[in-house]
Chain A
Amino acid sequence: DGGITQSPKYLFRKEGQNVTLSCEQNLNHDAMYWYRQDPGQGLRLIYYSQIVNDFQKGDIAEGYSVSREKKESFPLTVTSAQKNPTAFYLCASSVTDRVGSEAFFGQGTRLTVV
């Protein structure tokens, strides 16, 4: 079945450690996004990519990095510079070749600093 797969579902990070969250899609979507969700809050955009080998910062990019070497994959690295990384991270993808299309989401990765 087509969809977006995020892994792992749960991730624990020690202080000062970098961790990478995986996001893979087989929907043949050009655009991919990373959002952060804190309890009781909406989704805030971290990074997005509308084409391979290109990506743009979102509203809260500090302390995060991404790469887009393949159309199917958009991994997010949470670096030690991110001082409050505990959150629920959501990856999404969408088409870009028509006006107005919904974003499809993965099931999320819950990151906890220990």
Chain B
Amino acid sequence: GESVGLHLPTLSVQEGDNSIINCAYSNSASDYFIWYKQESGKGPQFIIDIRSNMDKRQGQRVTVLLNKTVKHLSLQIAATQPGDSAVYFCAESDASGGSYIPTFGRGTSLIVHP
């Protein structure tokens, strides 16, 4: 998961395992959260989002969990594949407060070993 420091947090898993990537967000007023996937040398791509009136949302092979009490977000990837290797970012915004600007966490590097 994410941590304070100079190095990008890294999660290494075996192909077929489930992966859990964590994110601690800072703004208690944030009400919209997104997970992005960034492959090397490319722009981030949307994976899944969740609004603050939900605590869980599922997509294809991915699930996002939101715990507003402790300001924590997680991304679960089922049956992780080598193509899932990338850096994953969470982003938050205070949409109902009129700000659509996403604020990004530092990211977690996911390495999937075949």
Contact = CB atoms under 8 A, between A and B. Distances in A.
Interface of A: 4, 6, 31, 33, 35, 40-45, 48, 50, 58, 90, 92, 94-96, 99-108, 110
Contacts of A35: 104
24 contacts: A4-B43, A33-B101, A33-B102, A40-B7, A40-B8, A41-B8, A42-B107, A43-B104, A44-B104, A45-B101, A45-B103, A48-B101, A58-B101, A90-B43, A99-B32, A99-B51, A99-B96, A100-B31, A100-B32, A100-B49, A101-B95, A103-B34, A105-B36, A108-B42
Contact of A105 (B6, B45, B95): B45
A100 B102 CA distance: 10
B44 A105 contact: yes
Given A43-B44, A106-B43, 13 more contacts: A31-B101, A41-B106, A42-B104, A42-B107, A45-B101, A48-B101, A90-B43, A92-B102, A100-B93, A100-B95, A104-B46, A105-B36, A107-B42
Contacts of B106: 41-42
Contact of B89 (A42, A99, A101): A42
Nearest to A88: B41
A42 B106 CA distance: 4
Contacts of B45: 105
Q: Which of B8, B41, B95, B104 has the most CB of A within 10 A?
A: B104
Contacts of A103: 34, 91, 102
A94 B89 contact: no
B100 A94 contact: yes
B43 A42 contact: no
B104 A102 contact: no
A99 B49 CA distance: 12
A44 B102 CA distance: 10
Contacts of B7: 40
Interface string B77-114: 00000000000010101011000111111110000000
